[in-house]
Amino acid sequence: MIQRIGRGRTALLLAVVTASSMLVSGCGDGSGGTGGAGDSVAVSLITKNSTNPFFVTMQQGAKKAAEAEGVKLTLAAGKEDGDEAGQVQAIEDAIARGDEGILITPNGPGVNPAIKKARDAGLYVIALDTPPDPADTVDITFATDNFKAGELVGKWTAAQLAGKPATIALLDLFNDKVVSVDYDRDQGFLTGMGIDTADRKKNGDEAKTGSYSGGSYAIACNEPTQGAEDGGRTAMETCLTKNPGINVVYTINEPAAVGAYKALQAAGKTQGVLVVSIDGGCDGVRQVKDGVIGATSQQYPLKMAELGVQAIKKIANGGEKPQVTSGLDFFDTGVTLVADTAATGVESITSAEAATRCWG
């Protein structure tokens, strides 16, 4: 049983998430989160935002698992990517409600002290998708191997270039904070391309020119997108002003990729440009089919959320805690490259097959 601080059912039923930045709902059997006999286990899922299809799918997966497991689930989210204050409030609410555990996709290091407070209060905290820095801020992380996800699209890109010079736009998540999913994907992509990275936990410090595995490269820009379509479009427009000859566009996620493609389209520069991304949502898979995105790495948010709810239920009832995947500091929920043009030596599935596994 997870250690608890004293809280009554009446307090739980009166607890309300008051932060205006939160999206909150509940499901389960409606009993309080005391974890005792006759009571359901209470879990909070706190995502980065409530609009990105990835996080919407994660919420759906958590709801499905909560209903199956008889878990009382509360959903909360920041107003947007990077909203640390909103997530901190949601963590405080989970502590006050008496939840047994929290599932969270951290918006940045600003949430770390609140996570520590929750763990000190006896809540079991699992990060989903985005490992915090340091990783032991939470009890465990269930996530895609984001470095591998970036590496897969990088290898695919290098193979497609077939020795041609690469002029690269790197459309990242942030430029004002450090988040592991951001640097893991970016640095994984460069590594897959065969480009030396300086500090694997820092974007933008690699040599701006040099050699990749097939030829020469030049990095035209590192621009933030906030993981959004409009951010991707603005970032790509900025990059094109710096170098109109860009022929490789790496994007942090598929909404940013769509925005980048629209900027290329408006500038009349889609011909011969490889746009690659990471997510594997149903819309992104359609973009691969339509030729907007050349390749994407598919991850599985439904699985992350379902496993997270099940793990906290199990721990609250005295079961074993989950263990990290061998060789990693998190539990790997898998990643698959999606591309309709295969690359020698890079295992992938087609968009048609990916459509049977996609989400959103």
Which pLDDT value is given to residue 177? Answer: 87
Percent of the chain with pLDDT over 90: 84
Q: pLDDT digit string (tens) for 257-272? A: 999 999 999 999 999 9
The tens digit of pLDDT for each residue in 221-251 reads 999 999 999 999 999 999 999 999 999 999 9
Whether this prediction's pTM lies above 0.95 is answered by no
Contacts of 42 (CB under 8 A, 6+ apart): 12, 28, 32, 33, 34, 35, 71, 72, 73, 74, 97, 98, 99, 100
Tokens representing residue 43 in the block: 């879990």
Task: Mention every residue, 6+ apart, whose C-beta is less than 8 A from residue 186.
Answer: 150, 170, 172, 203, 222, 250, 252
pLDDT at residue 197 in the model: 97
Residue spans of the chain under pLDDT 70: 1-39
pLDDT for res 40: 86
CA distance 222 to 44: 35
CA separation for the pair 86, 44 (Å, rounded): 14
Q: Which residues contact 260 (CB under 8 A, 6 or more apart)?
A: 169, 171, 232, 233, 235, 236, 249, 251, 275
Instruction: Look at residue 116 in the predicted model and tell me its pLDDT.
Output: 98
